[in-house]
């Protein structure tokens, strides 16, 4: 194919422009066709001349209901009950004892009340607590308590808490360590307490009873 003499005479050079113009024209026509609306004109109606077919509204007065009547109060019936009832039965009392002026009446003898049964279980709280005889408990400990050598070597000191029972005769038993420090101090505290003389027993209502006591023995390094 021979080349054109003049480039301006070539039609294919502007084909893309013509194609774009055609597409825009077809889209515009399609859009106008979808959006076009046609309204039909009819006869106008005068609403002011419409006939009012509604009935006049009737005002209904509010209905008032009377309050309900209270039920009648029923008075309680009083029934009279006679205080005394007559008993027609005859009661016969036969007394075989013959009492004369010479009859001697023996004096009344009142038996002693039996002693209270004291429980074998020790009292935890009594009116008068058991105590060491006199005021020499601290002196007794100073004279009899020996510091264990094992506790001295280990540098152990502190207090040992003991629980024990004092019976009605003041004898000590059932010694238990409730808090110990070890090093032989617990055993020494038990030994000293066992070697103590009889205690003054506790009393409940003035009677000596068995009671449980607690005591603390201190060990101090000098």
Per-residue pLDDT tens digits for 191-222: 999 999 999 999 999 999 999 999 999 998 87
The closest of 213, 198, 193 to 129, measured between CA atoms, is 213
Name the pTM for this structure: 0.47
- CATH number where 200 lies: 3.30.1150.10
At residue 1 the predicted structure's pLDDT band, cuts being 50, 70 and 90, is very low
| 146: in domain | yes
Total tally of structural domains belonging to the chain = 1
| 208: in domain | yes
The boundaries of the domain holding residue 158 are 137-219
Q: Are β-strands 202-204 and 172-179 bridged in parallel, bridged antiparallel, or unpaired?
A: unpaired
| 57: in domain | no
**Neighbour-count burial of 75, counting CB atoms closer than 10 A to its CB (0-12 exposed, 13-18 middle, 19+ buried):** exposed
| 29: in domain | no
Instruction: Let me know: does 197 contact 190? Beta carbons within 8 Å.
Output: no
């Amino acid at each position: 194919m021979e080349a054109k003499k003049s480039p301006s005479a070539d039609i294919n050079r502007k084909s893309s422009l013509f194609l774009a113009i055609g597409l825009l024209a077809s889209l515009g026509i399609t859009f106008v066709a979808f959006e076009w609306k046609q309204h039909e004109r009819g006869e106008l109606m005068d609403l002011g001349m419409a006939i009012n077919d509604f009935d006049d509204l009737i005002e209904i007065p509010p209905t008032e209901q009377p309050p309900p009547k209270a039920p009648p109060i029923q008075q309680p019936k009083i029934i009279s009950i006679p205080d005394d009832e007559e008993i027609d039965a005859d009661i016969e009392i036969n007394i075989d004892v013959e009492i004369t002026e010479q009859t001697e009446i023996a004096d009344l003898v009142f038996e002693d009340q039996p002693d209270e049964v004291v429980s074998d279980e020790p009292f935890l709280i009594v009116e008068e607590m058991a105590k060491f005889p006199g005021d020499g408990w601290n002196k007794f400990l100073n004279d009899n308590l020996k510091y264990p050598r094992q506790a001295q070597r280990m540098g152990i000191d502190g207090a040992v808490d003991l629980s024990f029972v004092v019976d009605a005769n003041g004898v000590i038993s059932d010694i238990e360590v409730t808090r110990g420090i070890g090093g032989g101090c617990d055993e020494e505290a038990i030994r000293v307490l066992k070697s103590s003389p009889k205690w003054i027993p506790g009393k409940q209502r003035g009677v000596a009873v068995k009671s449980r006591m607690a005591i603390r023995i201190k060990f101090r390094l000098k």
